[in-house]
C-alpha cells in the first residue's frame, strides 16, 4: 500500500491548482474529504492520514457562507466563512492582492469570533488548505465530492 507522503504534494487536477480569489470563490462550494496533512513545528514535522489517525474529516462549503465540519461522519462544528484576498506588502511600501484567504468564524450569540485563517489553492476536484498558527504549519489536502 502506497503511503500518502510518497505521493506528490498536490493532488492531480486537469485544470491545475490556483489561489486566484475569483476561482476559489467559484469552486469552493462542495464537500472536501481529508486526504492527508503535512505538519511542521520548529522541532518536528510529519504526515498524518485518515488511516494513520483512525479519523475522517470533511468540510462542506455551502453557498450561504456556512461551512460544516464533520469528524468521523458526525457534524462537529458549523462555521461562517469569508474569502478575502491575501494582501502582500512590497518593499516600496505599496501593497498587492495575491491569492485567497478563507476566514472561518464561530458564531457566539450575535458576535463572530475568528477561529482560523486558511490559505487556499483549489481546482475542479481538490483543494489545499494551509493553516498557520504561531508554532505549526498544517497543509490539509482534500478531494472534492458533491
The answer as to whether 28 is a domain residue is yes
The answer as to whether 10 is a domain residue is no
- Domain range spanning residue 94? 16-145
| CATH number, domain with residue 86 | 2.40.128
pLDDT tens string 63-94: 888 999 999 999 999 999 999 888 888 888 88
State residue 91's pLDDT score: 87
The answer as to whether 8 is a domain residue is no
Place 107 in a pLDDT band, splitting at 50, 70 and 90: confident
The answer as to whether 38 is a domain residue is yes
Query: What is d(CA 120, CA 36) in angstroms, rounded to the nearest whole number?
Result: 15
Q: Between 12 and 41, where is the model more confident?
A: 41
The answer as to whether 11 is a domain residue is no
Residues 6+ positions from 105 with CB-CB distance below 8 Å: 79, 80, 81, 82, 112, 113, 114, 115
The answer as to whether 91 is a domain residue is yes
Q: How many domains does the chain have?
A: 1
Cell numbers for 92, please give them.
516600496
Amino acid at each position: 500500500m502506497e503511503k500518502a507522503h510518497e505521493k506528490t504534494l498536490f493532488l492531480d487536477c486537469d485544470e491545475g491548482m490556483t489561489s486566484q480569489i475569483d476561482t476559489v470563490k467559484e469552486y469552493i462550494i462542495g464537500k472536501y474529504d481529508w486526504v492527508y496533512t503535512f505538519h511542521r513545528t520548529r522541532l518536528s514535522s510529519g504526515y498524518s492520514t485518515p488511516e494513520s489517525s483512525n479519523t475522517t474529516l470533511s468540510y462542506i462549503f455551502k453557498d450561504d457562507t456556512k461551512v460544516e465540519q464533520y469528524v468521523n461522519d458526525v457534524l462537529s462544528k458549523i462555521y461562517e466563512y469569508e474569502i478575502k484576498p491575501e494582501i502582500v506588502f512590497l518593499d516600496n511600501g505599496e501593497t498587492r492582492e495575491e491569492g485567497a484567504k478563507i476566514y472561518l468564524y464561530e458564531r457566539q450569540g450575535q458576535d463572530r469570533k475568528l477561529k482560523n485563517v486558511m490559505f487556499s489553492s483549489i481546482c475542479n476536484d481538490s483543494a489545499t488548505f494551509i493553516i498557520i498558527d504561531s508554532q505549526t504549519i498544517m497543509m490539509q489536502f482534500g478531494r472534492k465530492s458533491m
